[in-house]
Amino acid sequence: EDSETRLTETQSNELIELIRTLLPPIGGSNHTNVLNEVMLKTYGYHLNPYTSKETITNLLRLHSKALEKGIDVPKMNDHELRSKLNQYNVAAGPVINYTRAIYQRKLLEAINNENSEGADDEIDDDEDDFHTPPIPDDGIVTRSGKTFLYHAQ
């Protein structure tokens, strides 16, 4: 098993070096983000195209921590992944292609007791941003020009 891991790491390092030589020099953070994304994909993770830079960095860090604990999440088959999720008290349905990436991420979070979402992924729940406008006394005029009167009871 160690030879497989070393081979994967060697291939990963060679791929990263190849990418470094092929990519034009760009702003440091974007270049690093591309390399981190390639590393995660090389390890076997499936990433959403809209995954934030911070989330990619967090996933890479959580993956490294899980490896230190002897758990290689992307190498798990569906049954092993679901069993490990249950072991960490994470509710899991069937593991299929669509849910695999979600469950891998949840397992990494559970193993390390940390959240993988970056600040860019969080939804700002500010209730003050949206208010329903009051209904005018003379009714509501639709696009077709019809007027509906509203009578509060």
Predicted confidence (pLDDT) per residue in 32-85, tens digit: 777 788 888 888 887 877 888 888 888 889 999 999 999 999 999 999 999 999
Examine residue 34 and state whether it is found in any structural domain, yes or no.
yes
Residue type, 51: T
**How many structural domains compose the chain?**
1
Examine residue 130 and state whether it is found in any structural domain, yes or no.
no
Q: Are 58 and 119 in contact (CB under 8 A)?
A: no
Examine residue 145 and state whether it is found in any structural domain, yes or no.
no
Examine residue 142 and state whether it is found in any structural domain, yes or no.
no
Domain carrying residue 107 = 2-120
Examine residue 37 and state whether it is found in any structural domain, yes or no.
yes
Q: Which residues does residue 140 pair with via DSSP β-bridges, in sequence order?
A: 148
Q: Are 101 and 47 in contact (CB under 8 A)?
A: yes
pLDDT tens, 1-39? Answer: 444 455 577 777 777 777 666 665 555 556 677 778 888
- Residue that the structure tokens 């329903």 belong to: 132
pLDDT tens, 102-135? Answer: 899 999 999 988 877 765 444 445 555 556 666 6
Q: How would you write 39-103 as a 3-class SS string?
A: HHHHHCCCCCCCCCHHHHHHHHHHHHHHHHCCCCHHHCCHHHHHHHHHHCCCCCCCCCHHHHHHH
Q: Which residues are within 8 A (CB) of 38 and not within 5 positions of it... i.e. 6 or more apart?
A: 15, 16, 19
Rounded Cα–Cα distance for residues 93 and 103 (Å): 9
Examine residue 101 and state whether it is found in any structural domain, yes or no.
yes
Examine residue 25 and state whether it is found in any structural domain, yes or no.
yes
Examine residue 129 and state whether it is found in any structural domain, yes or no.
no
